[in-house]
Amino acid sequence: MTASASPQPPGRTPDALDATQREQALRHFEANLDRIAWLLRGTPVVVSTVASDLNIAPTERCLAEGCPHPIWARAQNERDPLRRRELLVEAKDLDPMSIRAPSEVNTILRRVADRHGLLLMDLEAELPRARDADVPDSALFRDTLHFSDQGMFEVADTVAAWLRDRQLP
């Protein structure tokens, strides 16, 4: 058995998607969700928004105007929690290497849920908030994307309560 050739050395961060590739990936994501919803028509389906730790600095260290890092740095000094959230989301969405889902993913989830009559749980909004920003608390995450043990328990409790409130199994 021969090992297949890897497109890049192990441990190397993949190249960032360019704007065209990103739009294509988002279009495919939406088309796939539409297909899943269509295949499951007649079955109660719940979709959930995604959440990530926005308090971790962007991977892109560019310091020029329009780069994510200066926006993230401004957010660190912002006292208004809602404005801080806006800046953190903007920095995340500008980071070309972010493994955090861009805001468009949650927009697509909402649009597909609406279009197909799916139930939508806004997990990102339901999670406990950081003390200084209107974003999920960093203690819920192990890294930018993955939940910590505490976060997994919080998500489980949050989802269970959400389902119970709607009298869903």
Q: Are 160 and 168 in contact (CB under 8 A)?
A: no
- Pairing mode, if any, of strands 46-48 and 119-121? parallel
Three-state secondary structure call for residue 136: strand
The full length of the chain comes to 169
Q: Which of 94, 124, 121 is nearest to 110 (CA)?
A: 121
Q: How far apart are CA 91 and CA 107, in angstroms?
A: 17
Give pTM, 2 decimals.
0.83
Tens digits of residue pLDDT in 119-164:
999 999 999 999 888 999 999 999 988 999 999 999 999 999 999 9
Instruction: Determine the pLDDT at residue 1.
Output: 46
State whether CATH 3.40.50 applies to domain 43-165. yes
